[in-house]
Chain A
């Protein structure tokens, strides 16, 4: 894995201020076009970065016992080790036995051994799990992250010397902040949407589908000021059917009805709610045309909710050349 990509992941997770955040996004290469547009050093606008890139975001709703996900698997006396972990958790029966941990060697920690939760191992009747990706350099963890206005220590938290996240103990607000990429206040937009705002012109010139796609309804993360996501069902529905209105044949009566269905959205848009609903449907109908054909992916995905979601993402990625989009965001 390239260092720049690790940096991106780290930064995205740590929710730095948005200026720093944008810089890191630039390092990732995702925002090449943006960087060129905002570059103040007289650098010439060039062509887009070469090669297609996609950012696939899986957002886990609810809580996660992160300290049981990556466990110290070493006995170093200087930093928290397995016995410290076990001592804290054994009384409640929450400690994972050391021999069940899936070991990883962490270069940043001087090659110390850590262990992944056994759930990251091989799946019965399935693949080998994500554990093996670590050794291949295809997996990174951003640890000790949260919604922060800026980094703070425990002492700073206690003496209120650094701004705390907006509505720190409100679950809903903290979720929004992960989506928004800012923690100092309420935000109307998500960072995926904002990136999409900036990059659509260069990276998605034909605009056949929005460059940001959500497989589970609309999320704050996907909302920009000017771009809205393609929100579609998972791979349980073929890509050419996810946005296809049913019930219209080729006969003249059907076509007259279809034409009226479309024409109705062009009128009465003086009411802003009518306008907003019609705009969303317009976007769906436009995307439907673009998705009329697609190639099935050959990589097997498990038939689970997340498997079907990722499979639908894979179908869209496979269609990127067709759609003439070279950067895409999925969530």
Chain B
């Protein structure tokens, strides 16, 4: 159990003007998002076994020998057909998974991909039989493994591969692995994006939840145009501006004078010294805002560049910090780095605002390197680790480097006098930190080293402001940045464990947006959302997807059901942060700078990368089910506190589902509708039948309760809680 935590430390900014092209209604039609499913070829002598050959047996053509068993460490080839590669796509786009008779999961490294001469396109996938996940010991050489190849989120048919010898696994002929393709065929010409399943998937990745309106918009203008449209939308929504809250003294008694318990006092504390205004503003924007994509990316960035209540004491402080994130969500990462380094909330949270040459504090210097930009180890451009000759990962920097960055970042503090928002008696958490050169360490520094390192050596005697820019460039041009940031954002938007090929494509967009610009977030976001690994009506790869974090679980459900006030007459007041907190994610209140969950969290028992599972345990899994019950059958009521936290309350609206339930006593129409809405058409027959039984237990005369029963079962199901 954890008794207390000491969080650490802070920031700043510049406006990046977004050049936007007017959305074109006659937009280009997006290409078919569906990749074919790979087919693993079986051995000539046994259709249940994978066709395989040892590395040295020649690979110009398909092997014709009998199937045989292999050993740990062997390099062999498997053969796949039905894949169509794009330029640059190769071995890193493929993964080979295996399970043994204990159902333990292994992954074998794919070393090479080469085309084989054959009547149809076939690729030889060279693998080494040696697990690379590392959760379990290597599989024992005592019988068959079940192997399958995955590519772009799609899995091949599984086949047996003998390890040591044959036998030990009962092979069940796989079901046809056909993905559902949901082409709305008879649509008029102007339709921009006809794939109805992928539209919903796309909106789950790019927003806080699909709505009918958004679905229609994307169908009409297509993904690319919709993204461009989002890039140009004002943020926040004009109807939901950032709350304008003045700075207050750090001492609550001074900021909100007694008598306590009065309405005035309570309002003062809630407005200034709690996250209430930030949280309700945040959820209103998530529920109703037009600039969904920017809101979503800023939310993801807030879990990378973390600050949190209660160390960040006032709502005004947190709002100034959030503005930095949203200003640069579609800007350049370099500008985000600078403005966040000078942001007072970050400066307070990680102590840079108190770091001076005589009393330096390394908190921020350490975390900007470790958590926000380059990470601990040297990465390949596809996000995989680089290793030295002894097979150890190569540290990106050492303690000396941290010490040197610490000295660069000395001398900044709050601008309490003379800046636009300077307020007598309060610390200025709104304007960027300012430099006091007298407190700045002016000795020479040696920074990050990497091939063609930029500004590695900082000479003595420079002005701090100039030095900060040199040092941030030294970080910004580090080759780790693209894969580090790219993989992080993929994990937040699309899937927990992307292939190296996917990470590599996004990193390449980070490195160069096509016009020679590095760090262009728009290019990165486009690359993430339009990648073939992200797109398609259905993903069958058993290791594709991510657990919806509590905030997303809640907002998706609400938005898909026309979230409104408790009485259904107007918009919600946004007071739902306690709902997320009940599921262990208190918005703007992460436990530490390490966020609610670490990006490298793995699911115990599997070794699978799954950051959000850091919040998933017996207690929180029941909390999720309980929230599904509350949201489906009840609402967040208007409260009668003084003042009320929920003046309007929050509710789902099922008015358009009730007629669907009424129209069909068999409830099949209802299930069709909900399948599309929540599962983008991928609900299995087993899931559907199970839900139907419970729905049909409710009398047809109670269509409202039938709908709510089905909604609860979907919302509480693992099938829905995993975004795929």
Contacts and interface: CB of A to CB of B under 8 A. Distances in A.
B584 A217 contact: yes
B686 A63 contact: no
Contacts of A189: 604
Nearest to A331: B1
A278 interface: yes
Given A245-B625, A245-B626, A273-B545, A263 B690 contact: yes
B719 interface: yes
Contact of A261 (B8, B598, B716, B722): B716
A173 B7 CA distance: 15
B542 A272 contact: yes
Contacts of A229: 617-618
A271 B722 contact: yes
Contacts of B693: 256, 259-260
B271 interface: no
Interface string B538-556: 0000111111000000000
A284 B3 contact: no
A168 B547 CA distance: 31
Contacts of A193: 604
Interface string B473-498: 00000000000000000000000100
A11 to B, nearest CB: 21
A246 B722 contact: no
Contacts of B366: 169-171
A261 B543 contact: no
Contacts of A260: 690-691, 693-694, 713
A265 interface: yes
B619 A284 contact: yes
A32 interface: no
Contacts of A62: 4-7
B641 to A, nearest CB: 20
B443 interface: no
Contacts of A305: 3
B605 interface: yes
B607 A270 contact: no
A275 B545 CA distance: 12
Given A62-B4, A252-B697, A273-B608, A268 B616 contact: no
B604 A223 contact: yes
A244 B622 contact: yes
B1 A268 contact: no
A58 interface: yes
A233 interface: yes
A61 B616 contact: no
B269 to A, nearest CB: 21
B694 A256 contact: yes
A276 B621 CA distance: 11
A306 B1 contact: yes
Given A61-B6, A214-B1, A273-B496, A264 B618 contact: no
A230 interface: yes
Interface string B614-654: 11111111100110011001000000000000000000000
A200 interface: no
Contact of A257 (B618, B619, B694): B694
A226 B136 CA distance: 10
A277 B724 contact: no
Contacts of B622: 242-245, 281, 284, 288
A1 B392 CA distance: 44
A283 interface: yes
B604 A281 contact: no
Interface in B656-713: 684, 686-687, 690-691, 693-694, 697-698, 705, 709, 712-713
A264 B6 contact: no
A24 interface: no
A189 to B, nearest CB: 7
A284 B624 CA distance: 12
B390 to A, nearest CB: 13
Contacts of A79: none
Contacts of A169: 366, 399, 402
Contacts of A253: 697-698, 705, 709
A35 interface: no
Contacts of B376: 167, 170, 173
B717 A276 contact: no
Contacts of A243: 618-619, 622
B570 interface: no
B1 A271 contact: no
Which among A169, A170, A256, A260 has the greatest number of chain B C-beta atoms within 10 A? Answer: A260
B687 A267 contact: yes
Contacts of B603: 272-273, 276
A264 B691 contact: yes
Contacts of A279: 605
Nearest to A233: B619
Contacts of B14: none
A229 B629 CA distance: 25
B166 interface: no
B3 A61 contact: yes
B543 A272 contact: yes
Contacts of A38: none
Interface residues of A, number: 72
Nearest to B158: A270
Contacts of A170: 366, 370, 376
B718 interface: yes
Contact of A281 (B1, B399, B545, B625): B625
Interface string A184-195: 000011000100
B134 interface: yes
Contacts of A225: 135-136, 604-605
B571 interface: no
A141 interface: no
Contact of B629 (A246, A270, A280): A246
Given A217-B617, A247-B633, A278-B718, A60 B604 contact: no
Which among A60, A214, A232, A280 has the greatest number of chain B C-beta atoms within 10 A? Answer: A280
A252 B709 CA distance: 13
A302 to B, nearest CB: 13
Contacts of A246: 626, 629-630
A272 B608 contact: yes
Nearest to A263: B690
B239 interface: no
B694 A271 contact: no
B619 A232 contact: yes
B694 A270 contact: no
Contacts of B594: 172
Contacts of B1: 57-59, 214-216, 306, 309, 330-331
Contacts of B716: 261, 264
A215 B625 CA distance: 19
A261 B3 contact: no
Nearest to B97: A272
A283 B619 CA distance: 10
B578 to A, nearest CB: 15
A59 B707 CA distance: 45
B399 A188 contact: no
A60 B3 contact: yes
A218 interface: yes
B488 to A, nearest CB: 15
Nearest to B615: A217
Nearest to A186: B600
A193 B616 CA distance: 17
Nearest to B604: A223
B602 interface: yes
A224 interface: yes
Contacts of B621: 277, 280-281, 284
Given A273-B543, A309-B1, 12 more contacts: A61-B4, A169-B402, A172-B598, A224-B604, A228-B604, A259-B693, A260-B691, A261-B713, A267-B686, A276-B603, A276-B613, A281-B718
9 contacts: A170-B370, A224-B604, A229-B617, A230-B618, A257-B712, A264-B716, A274-B722, A277-B722, A284-B621
**What 8 A-B pairs are tightest by C-beta distance, nearest first?**
A62-B6, A231-B617, A256-B697, A260-B694, A284-B618, A61-B5, A277-B718, A247-B629
